[in-house]
Amino acid sequence: MIIHLVRHGLPKVGSDGLYLPNAGLPDLGHRQASLAAGKIVRLKPDASFTSDVPRAIESAAHFEQATSQNVQQIPNLAELKTGNIWDAPDSIKKRIAKGDYHVDFKSMGGETITEFSHRAIEGFSELLHIASTSGLNRIAAFLHEGVIGTIIDHLEGRSTFDPKRRATMPYGALITVDTETNAPHFPGYWETDHLDELTS
């Protein structure tokens, strides 16, 4: 099965650099999501999926509007649950804003990397089950960097997500994986050519 994994567009953030609770996308995030959706439209997936998090839902909506294809939500494909990070000390907030996944989110009411990895893999299994029982050969999923990284790690035989294995995935970037191959699933780069006009 061919799966196109797309990271959501840039979300709204506060002055401390942290995602705002249940925030959607600002104008730039919508533009990134629209360009990513345009590329996915050309790849013609049989079905599409997302998590139940607003920034992912709003990103997937661009594809939904372009195709009239109903994007299915899988809650277990939500990003790492961080708990109440907004009341954390400034030193911790800075680490989180820089994408540090090795903060003790559990103490703030969130989940550990191991718990997150197991949940995300469970969500991926749900996605594969839906796709296989429906006879789908090519699908798209509008998700989160940590979830996409976990899926790649899982396909390569690892049980726990480690963000240090790869460069940060840009907003609106994508990667295509083939679940039938044993080859490495990360070629060393993210697909971003569809975003070029944003920097020209």
Tens of pLDDT, residues 84-125 = 999 999 999 999 998 888 899 999 999 999 999 999 999 999
Q: At a CB cut-off of 8 Å and minimum separation 6, what does 90 contact?
A: 16
Strands (DSSP E) along the chain, which ranges?
Answer: 2-7, 47-50, 72-73, 138-143, 174-178
pLDDT grade for 200, boundaries at 50, 70 and 90: low
pLDDT at 40: 97
pTM to 2 decimal places:
0.95
By DSSP bridging, strand 47-50 and strand 138-143 are parallel
In contact, 153 and 162? CB cutoff 8 Å = yes
**What type of residue sits at position 132?**
S
Residue 165 has pLDDT above 90, yes or no: no
Quickly tell me which residue has 């294995």 as its tokens.
Answer: 165
CA atoms within 13 A on the CB side of 38: 11
In contact, 157 and 169? CB cutoff 8 Å = no
Backbone angles phi, psi at 4, to 5 degrees: -95, 110
By DSSP bridging, strand 138-143 and strand 2-7 are parallel
Residue 2 has pLDDT above 90, yes or no: yes
Six-digit token string for 57: 């839902």
**What type of residue sits at position 71?**
V
Q: Which residue has the higher pLDDT, 51 or 189?
A: 51
Give residue-wise pLDDT tens across range 13-64: 999 999 988 889 999 999 999 999 999 999 999 999 999 999 999 999 999 9
Six-digit token string for 183: 């080859």
Quickly tell me which residue has 């907003």 as its tokens.
Answer: 171
Domain locations along the chain: 2-173
How open is the CA angle 128-147-177, to the nearest 5 degrees? 55
Task: Please name the CATH architecture into which domain 2-173 falls.
Answer: 3-Layer(aba) Sandwich (3.40)
